[in-house]
């Protein structure tokens, strides 16, 4: 079977594909631009940006065989997403970049703000645990390195970042699973 992403503006509109059978939509900005992933005719999957049902293929980074999907889009159309090689990707409107991980096997983007700051989760070196990350100024940083180490917190996943730079997510405080807000 196949599936199609959609949006609703007083009526239901299905988003197209990039020549394949399926597409998914994950985020929309205030201008109505959407991002997600869509199949190409050869079965590969690429991130897209769209306004309405017309999709713009954002291509890939590295090998042409690398699949990817857009996860979040900001007001200027910059996109954070994921590569199927388990790395975070960033598309600045022209070019796609592989942002890598915090040293571990995989990382996943969750959100991007209007300044192009990206948050999500990544395995750390040794793949022993997920840690929340912030990508800003060309650098992916473990958010745990930005807080007081004696606070008792282990921040595992950053879910969202707003335009003030505030980050929400979840982790552990002295062994108890809790949500956090960083300002």
What DSSP character marks residue 141?
E
What is the predicted pLDDT for the residue at 7?
Answer: 86
CB 152 within 8 A of CB 171: no
Per-residue pLDDT of the chain (183 residues; tens, 9 = 90+): 678 898 888 999 889 899 999 999 999 999 999 999 999 999 999 999 997 778 999 999 988 889 999 999 999 999 999 999 999 999 999 999 999 999 999 999 999 999 999 999 999 999 999 999 999 999 999 999 999 999 999 999 999 999 999 999 999 999 999 999 999
Please tell me the total number of residues recorded for the chain in this structure.
Answer: 183
| Cβ–Cβ under 8 Å, residues 60 and 82 | no
Task: Report the SS3 class of residue 150.
Answer: helix
Q: How many CA atoms lie within 13 A of 139 on its CB side?
A: 4
């Amino acid at each position: 079977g196949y599936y199609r992403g959609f949006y609703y503006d007083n009526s239901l509109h299905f988003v197209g594909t990039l020549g394949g059978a399926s597409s998914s939509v994950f985020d929309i900005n205030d201008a109505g631009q959407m991002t997600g992933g869509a199949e190409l005719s050869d079965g590969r999957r690429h991130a897209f940006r769209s306004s309405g049902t017309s999709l713009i293929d954002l291509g890939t980074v590295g090998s042409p065989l690398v699949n990817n999907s857009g996860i979040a889009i900001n007001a200027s159309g910059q996109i954070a997403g994921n590569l199927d090689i388990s790395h975070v990707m960033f598309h600045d409107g022209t070019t796609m970049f592989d942002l890598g991980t915090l040293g571990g096997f995989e990382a996943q983007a969750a959100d991007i703000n209007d300044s192009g700051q990206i948050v999500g989760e990544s395995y750390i070196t040794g793949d022993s645990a997920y840690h929340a990350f912030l990508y800003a100024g060309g650098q992916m940083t473990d958010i745990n390195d930005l807080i007081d180490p004696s606070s008792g917190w282990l921040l595992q996943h950053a879910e969202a970042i707003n335009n003030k730079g505030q980050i929400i997510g979840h982790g552990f405080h002295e062994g108890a699973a809790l949500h956090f807000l960083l300002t």
